[in-house]
Amino acid sequence: MKYRCLLALLVTLTASGQQELDLDVGQLLESAQDWAEENLDESLLRALPEVDRDQVEKFLRQFQAQLQQDYVLDLAGLKETAQFVLPLLDAHPDTQPYAAWLRTRLDYFEIAEELRRQGPPLKPKPGQTPKPAGNPSAAVERKVWEQKLSRRDRPAAANPLVPKLKSIFAAERVPEPLVWLAEVESGFNSRARSPAGAGGLFQLMPGTAKELGLRRWPFDQRYQLEPSAQGAARYLNRLHTQFGDWRLALAAYNAGPGKVQELLDRKGARSFDGIAMALPAETQLFVPKVEGTILRREGVSLAKMQPPKK
């Protein structure tokens, strides 16, 4: 269905006089694919029965919105809905990439719930709505993630992939333990796709992939092991060069370097902890989860990671 839509768009562009532009067919098809990535999400949900489709679409939109807000604890309220939605997405091949993306984020709801329990009790004044508790500190989140991940088994899908990924990261002069970013982003499922359009093992956005030199047409290299790993490693290397710190580099990988730099400037901060509570909720959860995952898998902290020797 996706490619029928791409063909239809190509025909439309040609019929409307776009053939006069100095574009070759490959560029035109790539533009059509970019358009499709941003506009065909709802069509993939048509595989679901209508009553389920409405619930799934509502949840995905709400979840995406809350991930971009800066209040972490609100995510706890979506836990039951997420557990209901996941098997619906898993039941159809068209929506399984969304299921792979959601499955790796189920623990976001659990962590938000745990952070809410650990927070100070609210003391509402008579006749007034209680104010929400503030975001937990980065140190608190690191501790909760470390505890949760301390007994998590290594995913079976990682076994054949990790040695290959480490070799690619080493060639790009990026610390090899960072390949475990793929566990956090996709559970080592190369088909994983987010509702926002990120895709592959390392959940690269279409625009980021293009900047990194990954092809989108005729095959999307974000879903291929070697090109996607090379792109992710190059991006991490670039972000670490910019910020000089792996926590900040990971925050920028998730939220964008512009957002991270803006917060550092506004708050006069130099560290992730100095801006963590103002970052999007997803980033607040993402960075300590990556850190805890690497600690669990490799026994190495982000602060002590060194690039491979030449």
**CA angle 201-206-208, nearest 5°?**
85
User: Hey, is 260 helix, strand or coil?
Assistant: helix
Yes or no: say if 187 and 155 are a contact pair by the CB < 8 Å rule: yes
Which of 185, 211, 226, 262 does the annotation list as catalytic? 185
Catalytic: 114?
A: no
C-beta of residue 76 within 8 angstroms of C-beta of residue 164: no
Among 53, 63, 59, 37, smallest CA distance to 92 is for 53
Q: What angle do CA 228, 229, 234 make, to 5 degrees?
A: 100
Residue 131 DSSP one-character state: P
Q: What are the residues whose beta carbons fall under 8 Å from the beta carbon of 152, sequence distance 6 or more?
A: 296
**Closest alpha carbon to 305 in 183, 147, 166, 141:** 166
Maximum distance among all Cα pairs of the chain, rounded to whole angstroms: 70
Letter string b/e over residues 141-171, b meaning 16 or more CB atoms within 10 A of that residue's CB: bbebbbebbeeeeebebbeebbeebbebbbe
Q: Looking at residue 63, what DSSP letter applies?
A: H
Catalytic residues: 185
